[in-house]
A and B are shown apart, each in its own frame.
Chain A
Amino acid sequence: GDSVTQMEGPVTLSEEAFLTINCTYTATGYPSLFWYVQYPGEGLQLLLKATKADDKGSNKGFEATYRKETTSFHLEKGSVQVSDSAVYFCALRSGGATNKLIFGTGTLLAVQP
């Protein structure tokens, strides 16, 4: 079945460092891909999305490109801030009419000043 694999954390970076969080997927058809972010004590929020191959999703300085040839959707940011400390989830929308999301296990990012 459909699945998402993302790099394990925690990822600890200094402020202004470059961030990459890897995400690969297995799916039939052409899924939509998402990155959600969860700040401490809160629910998940959509960070960015891409709905077809070669699309680039971007928001708040984060970017991810839908790579069908490598089945990947890696999250990147050029210069992280302390306020980016959170758990990041890669997800795909499975096929069918239910709009269900399949999530990866999440990657904790800790940014130190």
Chain B
Amino acid sequence: NAGVTQTPKFRILKIGQSMTLQCTQDMNHNYMYWYRQDPGMGLKLIYYSVGAGITDKGEVPNGYNVSRSTTEDFPLRLELAAPSQTSVYFCASSYGERGEKLFFGSGTQLSVL
């Protein structure tokens, strides 16, 4: 009964470093999403995927990349970390039907110093 699993939970990066935030779901959901949550700003959509092999940009994609080689996994890549990417990152998934809820992971808190 894992749901959506994100790793790591916390990470500190230096400017210019790269890293991958992992996300996996065991509910056979077609739709997966990456959001970032900044204080007082709500959640902003970074990238989303409607199925394996299909990804698209959200509101704030700059500085990030994603891939979706399997239904279960949707990793988020930061190539050259910048202080502006300090945030809490949430992965989510859903079946994709209208009005149906999203299932969220517990988040990754990332600091870029």
- Contact residues of A with B, CB < 8 Å? 4, 32, 34, 41-46, 49, 51, 89, 93, 97-101, 103-106
Cα-based distance from A107 to B22 in the complex (angstroms)? 28
Nearest CB on B from A99, distance (A):
5
Indicate if the CB atoms of A100 and B58 lie closer than 8 Å: yes
- Contact residues of B with A, CB < 8 Å? 4, 31, 33, 35, 40-43, 45, 48, 50, 56, 58, 90, 92, 94, 96-102, 104-107
Q: Which residue of A lies closest to B40 (CB)?
A: A105
Given A43-B105, A98-B31, A98-B96, 18 other A-B residues pairs in contact with their CB atoms under 8 A: A32-B98, A34-B101, A42-B106, A42-B107, A43-B104, A43-B106, A49-B99, A49-B101, A51-B99, A89-B43, A93-B99, A97-B96, A98-B48, A99-B100, A99-B102, A100-B58, A104-B42, A105-B42
Given A43-B106, A45-B104, A51-B99, A99:B94 Cβ within 8 A: yes
Nearest CB on B from A68, distance (A):
15
Q: In the assembled complex, which residues on chain B have CB atoms less than 8 Å from the CB atom of A98?
A: 31, 48, 50, 56, 96
Indicate if the CB atoms of B104 and A105 lie closer than 8 Å: no
Per CB-CB distance, the 6 closest pairs between chain A and chain B, nearest first, are A43-B104, A46-B101, A32-B99, A105-B42, A51-B99, A103-B42
Number of A-B contacts (CB under 8 A): 60
Q: In the assembled complex, which residues on chain A have CB atoms less than 8 Å from the CB atom of B107?
A: 42-43
Indicate if the CB atoms of A100 and B48 lie closer than 8 Å: yes
Nearest CB on B from A88, distance (A):
11
Q: In the assembled complex, which residues on chain B have CB atoms less than 8 Å from the CB atom of A45?
A: 104
Indicate if the CB atoms of B42 and A99 lie closer than 8 Å: no
Q: Which residue of A lies closest to B91 (CB)?
A: A43
Cα-based distance from A14 to B96 in the complex (angstroms)? 39
Q: In the assembled complex, which residues on chain A have CB atoms less than 8 Å from the CB atom of B90?
A: 43-44
The one of B43, B50, B92, B105 that contacts A97, using a Cβ cutoff of 8 Å = B50
Cα-based distance from A101 to B35 in the complex (angstroms)? 10
